Structure 1
């Protein structure tokens, strides 16, 4: 008799496992991914650019600190903000990258002064998309006026 075979999970067990997984997504610590990094855009930077300006090590130190707690617990609206949708074309100098899912929930993390990491969030993962040295991702009304962009 073979006792090594496991009996199939019941619908209840499967449902409970799914719910447990979704709860752990919210309680697991913050994770970072560079899967969608786009340094090809005019206002974006590369790791080399950030390294020359001393921003790369600062960003990595910052991300290391964020990785100690769940993402949602760290969204404060100041240093770490979730915007939701990609900004309208008259509010950003970036374009929506083709490789990023259309339903992405966009967010940013301040690194130093105007320098920010821009990306999107899924559960507890922050997908870095742009290294934005001059905060050109979401332009303020004053900055848009300085650039001669139309008011909304």
Structure 2
């Protein structure tokens, strides 16, 4: 007697992933990066091209790719990767709060090289890049004039 084989269609990996997606509250997922809120329009903000011309773009990508191997919250160390919480007050920053960023954003920064930092906000396991700040003007550590 011949065996009967079912002609079951292979499952789509995308459909399977969507059907079994994790809760947004699952903080065990690895660090993810989004450039959805990138703002290059401000005076002290930089563009990719600007960072590339001074050798920082590859450093940025190397740094971010290193963070993507573990959950976001496990990597906050207060030194290289800090969560500020609120946007800094006017006397502590040379940047303006971008209108396209949610008002309750939890602001954070990652040191890249020297004074260069990437500024963004975090939501669960995702770091949303907002500013490429090569001169560390987002959160001033000493008094700076706005020349």
TM-score (norm 1): 0.80
RMSD (CA atoms):
1.7
What residue is the counterpart of 2:93 in the other structure?
A: 92
Larger fraction in helix: 1
Deviations 1:75-114 (A, max 9, x none): 0000000000000001000000000000000000000010
Local SS of the residue matching 1:61:
helix
Deviations 1:30-67 (A, max 9, x none): 00000000000000000000000110001000100100
**Partner Cα separation in structure 1 for residue 23 and residue 138 of structure 2:** 33
What residue is the counterpart of 1:134 in the other structure?
A: 135
TM-score (norm 2): 0.82
Matched pairs, number: 127
**Partner Cα separation in structure 2 for residue 23 and residue 137 of structure 1:** 29
Structure 2 runs not aligned, ≥5 long? 1-19
**Partner Cα separation in structure 2 for residue 28 and residue 59 of structure 1:** 21
Moved over 3 A (4+): none
**Partner Cα separation in structure 2 for residue 123 and residue 22 of structure 1:** 7
Q: Is the 8 A contact 2:25 2:124 kept in 1?
A: no
Local SS of the residue matching 2:121:
strand
**Partner Cα separation in structure 2 for residue 130 and residue 33 of structure 1:** 12
